Amino acid sequence: MKIVIDKHIPYIAGVVEPVADVVYAAAADIDVPLVKDARALIVRTRTRCDATLLDGSSVELICTAAIGTDHIDLDYCRAHGIAVANAPGCNAPAVAQWTLATIARWLDKRHLSPTSLTLGVVGVGHVGSIVARWAQRAGMSVLRNDPPRAEREDETDFCALNELLEKSDIITFHTPLTREGKHRTFHLCDSDFLASATRCRLLINAARGGILDERALDSWNGDLALDCWENEPRINSDLLQRCFVATPHIAGYSLEGKQRATAAAVRALEHHFGWNLRLPFVPPGTDDDGLTLADIAASYDPFLDTEALRRDGGASFEALRNRYTLRHEPQFKQ
């Protein structure tokens, strides 16, 4: 049995070899000939899994070592009996770390106190929930906007988007990227959104690039912190220079997050094929009791990654992402 695995997925080398023939490949090399006789794929978000790649193949399982699935044509997979497994919440503490570390640096540079500001969190899933909790612990007022959750749960826990836009000093996005449906998030942050965000002084996106319409940002006068970009890896170099923080889609790149993602992919293989595989590590938990804003700021400096990305105008985006030195989440710092 042949299994194709993205070679940049860490901690998985040697795990599947006892039960299958494993081929490791860069995302750019996971193509039709390679996939044709594979039974399963373990990929990252850089591999588009759709009819172009999968038609005529033997693939019956796709595991993505990430939270999102917008790189996978789920309708095609359902129609062709291909199971799909992702890793929900795997890197949520790391993305929250990036977000709060960025806010901490911004507060310091702008000589502001967290207790004087309101944070608007758009999307309150795995990541947004942690961001909201950590921000409240730091003394910030927090507004939560999540229409799908508001429809399912107690609406008093959430606010309407127009209220969030009116009252938030900082707005951070933590939604999936959806292009259709009632709660579409593609270009959610457009010119109308920005015109209504009258108090906002810092706009943060560590979710998906397409949530922000980058053309609309031409008229935005506030500070920007971007980890996710439209048209990655060929990012807007002018926008890069304008950003307060700008990083190459590495907000979720913690050692612990990667271990959780790899563990989720391996467990999906076990469930699908009935295997019993041995991981070389124990997947970490996400305990954050007592974590302070100072702890988070000390655990990660986003300015270092910003400087690295700016050196060549963003041309090294993909190389920096692939060679990124995984950091520790704040609750696991040594």
Residue extents of the structural domains in the chain: 2-86, 92-252+299-332
Give the per-residue pLDDT at 290: 78
Q: What is the DSSP track for 263-292?
A: HHHHHHHHHHHT-----SSPPP----TT--
Active site residue 232: yes
Give yes or no on whether 2-86 and 92-252+299-332 have one common fold: yes
Given 232, 321, 327, 329, the catalytic residue: 232
Given 208, 260, 321, 327, the catalytic residue: 208
Give the per-residue pLDDT at 67: 84
Give the per-residue pLDDT at 332: 54
Given 71, 249, 260, 327, the catalytic residue: 249
Give the per-residue pLDDT at 46: 87
- Residues 126-156 have pLDDT tens digits of 999 999 999 999 999 999 999 999 999 876 7
Active site residue 249: yes
Is the C-alpha dihedral spanning 151, 152, 154, 159 positive or negative? negative
Does domain 2-86 bear CATH number 2.40.50.500? Answer: no
Low-confidence residues of the chain: pLDDT under 50? 333-334
- Residues 163-195 have pLDDT tens digits of 999 999 999 999 999 998 899 999 999 999 999
- Residue 329 carries which side chain, given as an amino acid letter? E
Active site residue 163: no
Give the per-residue pLDDT at 283: 76
40 phi, psi to nearest 5 deg: -150, 150
Question: What CATH class does 92-252+299-332 carry?
Answer: alpha beta
Give strand ranges (E) for 207-330: 223-226, 245-246
